[in-house]
Amino acid sequence: MGKSKRILITGAAGFLGSHLCDFYIQKGFNVVAMDNLITGRLENIEHLFPLENFEFYNHDVSKFIHVSGDLDYILHFASPASPIDYLKIPIQTLKVGSLGVHNCLGLAKSKNARVLIASTSEVYGDPEVHPQTEDYWGNVNPVGPRGVYDEAKRFQEAITMAYHNFHGIETRIVRIFNTFGPRMRLNDGRVLPAFIGQALRGEDLTIFGDGSQTRSFCYVDDLMKGIHALLLSDYHLPMNIGNPSEITINDFAKEIIELTGTNPKIVLKELPVNDPKQRRPDITRAKEILGWSPKVSRSEGLKLTYDYFKGMSAEELEKRPHDNFEKYIKH
């Protein structure tokens, strides 16, 4: 039997990072997890601490990264990932998408490791092309409230391609669309945990805008499989991974009401600045190159996610989005 592969996962205590840790532990990898816990939670990965093939470093990847020994793969998933975070920690958001990815790429070069960086559908901004294909360059406001995240991710893609082209590093770029599942932060301001949190607390559901804007939700288990397929592929250009099943926010609110068996009012508030009106991935490239497509239906994934939130303590359920969110709305 061959030697187990060793993989570094940054942002390992976050929503996606923690699921990646589980995924690669189950595949028999030696997992090196790294997180500065600015938005991540140790509770997401504490079940892995007793394992011999798991190690954790409390470290900010925006600073020099040292990992002793060999590395086969690096997954760079460290980044704040919600509008609430962008407002609270804008400089850190920019640094992890610039200095952080630079450090990961340098480490990949020194270890001769393959690196996959987590980009996002936000590189498309408020898109003028629908659905979004990988060759669309986007419609992004670099100085708007979302700019610290959008432009950090766009720079991340650019420097990754530069390392691939100039240094010959094995690189992969995944553009992740809206993903959901257990371990989402209830107070991060994203629509799914916001709706479920409000329903569980017996509050009205808050919709920003008129609710006609669309989103496409991919269950986290499907995303993990897509990321792994891309990592092992020979494809180095950006690739969309998401679920093309599109739904308006109004209809999504109705699904949450039915799921939770509640009867809240729906309250409309002003649409945030530069909030995308449409979001739906074109996954033709993933289907043709990776043979990947999502398998978990939204209804099935929502039930699993709702069960997770229902199991939270009363104290956890009381966590609400930060007051700064109002700044995100103002023009």
pLDDT tens digits for 10-59? Answer: 999 999 999 999 999 999 999 999 999 999 999 999 999 999 999 999 99
Indicate the CATH number of 6-179+217-241 among 3.40.50.720, 2.130.10.10, 3.30.70.330, 3.40.50.2000: 3.40.50.720
Residue 149 a catalytic site member: yes
CA-CA distances (angstroms) from residue 147 to 126, 153, 229?
Answer: 12, 10, 30
DSSP single-letter state for residue 271? P
Q: Which residues of 105-132 are buried (b: 16+ CB within 10 A; e: fewer)?
A: bebbeebebbbbbbbbbbbbbbbeeebb
Which tokens sit at 95? 């640094």
CATH of region 184-215+245-276+296-329 = 3.90.25.10
Q: Where are the alpha helices (DSSP H) in the chain?
A: 15-26, 83-88, 90-96, 99-111, 147-162, 191-200, 220-232, 249-260, 284-285, 298-310, 314-317, 325-329
Looking at residue 331, what is its pLDDT? 38
Angstrom distance (rounded) from CA 50 to CA 200? 33
Catalytic residue among 86, 149, 219, 306: 149
pTM value is 0.94
Which residue ranges does the chain devote to CATH 3.40.50.720?
6-179+217-241
**Distance of alpha carbon 12 from alpha carbon 75, whole angstroms:** 9
pLDDT digit string, tens, across residues 261-315:
998 899 888 877 767 788 899 999 999 999 999 999 999 999 999 999 998 877 7
Give the integer Cα–Cα distance in Å for 223 and 18: 13
- pLDDT band at 186; cut points 50, 70, 90: confident
Residue spans in the chain of domains classed CATH 3.90.25.10:
184-215+245-276+296-329
Helices 147-162, 99-111: axis angle to 10 degrees equals 20
- Is residue 322 scored above 80 in pLDDT? no
